[in-house]
């Protein structure tokens, strides 16, 4: 298997983002599992398990939680953690802030380029996997990029690249 293919399913995450994932996993494996165990105990008290809707629902919830835990463990094991201290500002990369000008109307926006697990478009935290993020990756100050969006093509000029706080 090629290295490129092996890395294709790996998520990019900051050190802070990794800490949040680990906290979420801990919460799911402790509080989440305990809550479902309690639901199963209560449902068992209702009698015949073959016709017990509460028990079936709790078992489904348990299966979903265990699937989510396995997926999160896999993500944590394989994630590429970006050390914010070592992020270069020579070009746009995950871990950088990029100030861009929309060429059409002159509007200026600043985006934090983050991994998909940390994206929050409402806070201008865009993923390296979204159209704008992909178009900006590897570009330099002064570059103009064409981005295909659901609303059509837009042109962005890169004004500044800085390290995220």
- Residue range 81-108, pLDDT digits in tens: 887 777 888 999 888 999 999 999 999 9
Domain end, chosen from 82, 105, 127, is at: 82
**How many angstroms separate the Cα of 159 from the Cα of each of 12, 91, 106, 135?**
24, 11, 12, 15
CATH number for the domain spanning 72: value is 1.10.287.180
- Taking the CA atoms of 44, 45, 51 and 52 in sequence, report the sign of the dihedral they define: negative
Same domain, 77 and 19: yes
Same domain, 72 and 98: no
Number of domains present in the structure of the chain: 2
Per-residue pLDDT of the chain (165 residues; tens, 9 = 90+): 334 344 556 888 888 889 999 999 999 999 999 999 999 999 888 877 777 888 889 999 999 999 999 999 999 999 988 877 778 889 998 889 999 999 999 999 999 999 888 999 999 999 999 999 999 999 999 999 999 988 899 999 999 999 887
Domain end, chosen from 82, 107, 137, is at: 82
The predicted pLDDT at position 7 comes to 55
- Asked whether the whole model's pTM tops 0.75, one would answer no
Same domain, 66 and 115: no
Same domain, 36 and 74: yes
CB 28 within 8 A of CB 69: yes
Same domain, 64 and 128: no
Same domain, 99 and 152: yes
Beta strands (DSSP E) in 15-95 are 80-82
The predicted pLDDT at position 5 comes to 42
Expressed as residue numbers, the domain containing 140 is: 84-163
Pair of tokens at residue 56: 């079936």
CATH number for the domain spanning 139: value is 3.10.50.30
């Amino acid at each position: 298997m090629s290295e490129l293919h092996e890395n294709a399913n790996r998520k990019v995450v900051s050190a802070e983002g990794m800490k949040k994932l680990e906290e979420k996993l801990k919460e799911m494996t402790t509080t989440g599992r305990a809550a479902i165990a309690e639901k199963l105990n209560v449902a068992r008290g209702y009698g015949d398990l073959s016709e017990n809707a509460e028990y079936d629902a709790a078992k489904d919830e348990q299966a979903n939680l265990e699937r989510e835990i396995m997926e999160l463990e896999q993500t944590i094991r394989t994630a590429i953690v970006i050390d914010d201290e070592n992020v270069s500002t020579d070009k746009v990369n995950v871990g950088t802030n990029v100030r861009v000008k929309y060429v059409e109307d002159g509007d200026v926006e600043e985006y934090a380029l983050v991994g998909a697990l940390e994206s929050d478009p409402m806070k201008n935290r865009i993923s390296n996997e979204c159209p704008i993020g992909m178009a900006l990756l590897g570009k330099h100050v002064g570059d103009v990029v064409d981005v295909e969006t659901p609303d059509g093509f837009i042109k962005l000029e890169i004004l500044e690249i800085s390290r995220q706080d």
